[in-house]
Structures are given as C-alpha cells and as structure tokens.
Structure 1
C-alpha cells in the first residue's frame, strides 16, 4: 500500500494534515514536508488525521514526538487503526497525545500539554 499526505487550507487557525496508507522511514518525507510547512506558518493548532493510516512504525512515531516537542498544539484525529493503537499502547504514546474521533472534533479540541 502506498502512502498519501494531503494538507487542507487553514480554517480558523487550524491546519489539517491528512495521512493515508503505510508510513515508515522510507515513506515519511511527504509528512515531514507538510509538518515543516505547518510549523513555518502561523497556525494555532495542527490536526493530524491518522484515521486512514494502515501502518505506522517507530519512525512515524518519532516524527510525531518531534512535532509535539515544538510546543505547537497537536491533535490526532482518529480512530487509530488497530496497528497504530497497539504501537501507541506499547510505547505509552497514548498517554501523551490527544487523540479524538474525527477531524471536526479535532478542530475544536484543546490538546493536553
């Protein structure tokens, strides 16, 4: 399965980056570019739609952790795939990321600090 990253126009200071497919160290560059663009712009919150991510490895998790460390508010829009949910559970990432069901809910959610 391929991967796809789509950046939607900002609405009320919220940038939505939708990811679909499989993400590992060899396929992360489009996501990295989308994140860099969001960080370069004055967006209030970044919503990363991961509801269509079929596979994510530690490389993607590390990218999400780097993004979180920037201090920019981040909300993950799910639901998470079973594989991604397991990755988050095994690494305790489920305790530090704000994950909600759906992009619209993510747009209005204040992420935990």
Structure 2
C-alpha cells in the first residue's frame, strides 16, 4: 500500500499533518509518530489534512479517536473521500469530529 505523512512547519501554534494514500493497521506508524510528535510539542491545534487519503479502515478511525481523546484541539481538513465519509457516517464519527472543507478553512476555526 502506498501512503505517506507530511508535517508542515507550525504556524501560530497550529501544526498541519497531511496524510495521503491508504491507511490501515499495517501502515499507521508514520501517522502515529507524527501525532506523538505533535502532542509532545507545544502545539495549540492539530489540523489533520485527510483530503488525500484514498482508503482508511477502522484502525485509522481508532487512531483519530485516540487523538481526539487527548483533549488537544484538532480539526480534520477534507474533503473526505467517499469511502472515508461513509466510514465516518456508519460509525457516527462525523458527529464527534470537527471537519473543515479544506486546510485553509480549518486554519480559520
């Protein structure tokens, strides 16, 4: 599976983590590491750009829920692909996450 995680330099206490490709239990480590690094730093808000994710399974969703439970403000920047949107809809995750239409929109929240 092809996937990658890119971390942009912090701007005004906001860290943008961009995820691209397919994410499942076997490919989550780069995302886990990026999240751990963000939580270890004095980052005010984490923006996860998920607009380039082509596939995400329940383990990916669980990782996002774990991040949400840390209490650190976070925003998912979309749009979500149809498969991920369906996963969020079926699990009602779309009700617990703040989802913005784009990274630019997420930065204004």
Q: Smaller-chain TM-score range?
A: over 0.9
Q: Are 1:37 and 2:55 counterparts?
A: no
Counterparts of 1:12-91 in structure 2, within 5 Å, are 12-91=12-91
Q: Secondary structure at the match of 1:25?
A: coil
Match of 2:95 in 1: 95
- The superposition leaves residues 19-60 of structure 1 with CA deviations (integer Å, 9 ceiling, x where unpaired) of 000000000000000000000000110000000000000000
TM-score (norm 2): 0.99
Q: Which consecutive residues of structure 1, in runs of 5 or more, have no partner in the other structure?
A: none
Q: Distance in 1 between matches of 2:101 and 2:89?
A: 17
How big is the alpha-carbon RMSD for the aligned residues of Structure 1 and Structure 2?
Answer: 0.6
Any stretches of 5+ residues in structure 2 without a counterpart?
A: none
Shift of 1:81: 0.2
Q: Distance in 1 between matches of 2:34 and 2:53?
A: 16
